[in-house]
């Protein structure tokens, strides 16, 4: 079954040395809990892939929205704007992808 219905905001980062990563992940969990248009939020720290494939990136953050307009609402939300400043100051490098997703196998 292929459905196209969601909009994804994917971020991978390498944090600067000395950054309290847990403060940031807790802050992000709080942020998404405050903003209703965030449909789901998952994150993790790489523990498995080879260095050459990870390329220094350590954390992934995956947000799902029902539609692009909801993502736009999230982006312009004052809490997100405020958090983004704090987050940006803590990262050494980042890649960010935003796109409508094609779901091929649906989670049970």
Question: Which residues sit at the interface with its own copies, rule CB under 8 A?
Answer: 2, 6, 8, 10, 12, 25, 29, 32-33, 38-50, 53-55, 57, 60, 62, 64, 68, 71, 94-108
CB of 21 to its own copies, least distance (A): 13
CB of 19 to its own copies, least distance (A): 18
- Give DSSP secondary structure letters for 61-89: EEEEESSHHHHHHHHH-HHHHHHHHHHHH
CB of 60 to its own copies, least distance (A): 5
d(CA 41, CA 26): 12
Structure tokens at 80: 């997100």
d(CA 24, CA 80): 13
d(CA 39, CA 67): 10
Name the residue nearer to its own copies (CB basis): 16 or 88: 88
Name the residue nearer to its own copies (CB basis): 19 or 58: 58
């Amino acid at each position: 079954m292929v459905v196209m219905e969601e909009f994804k905001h994917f971020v991978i980062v390498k944090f600067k040395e000395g950054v309290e990563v847990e403060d940031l992940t807790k802050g992000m969990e709080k942020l998404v809990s405050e903003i209703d248009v965030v449909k789901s939020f998952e994150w993790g720290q790489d523990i498995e892939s080879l260095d050459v494939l990870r390329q220094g990136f350590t954390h992934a953050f995956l947000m799902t929205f029902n539609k692009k307009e909801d993502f736009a609402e999230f982006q312009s939300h004052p809490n997100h704007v405020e958090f983004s400043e704090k987050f940006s100051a803590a990262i050494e490098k980042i890649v960010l992808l935003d796109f409508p997703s094609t779901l091929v196998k649906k989670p049970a």
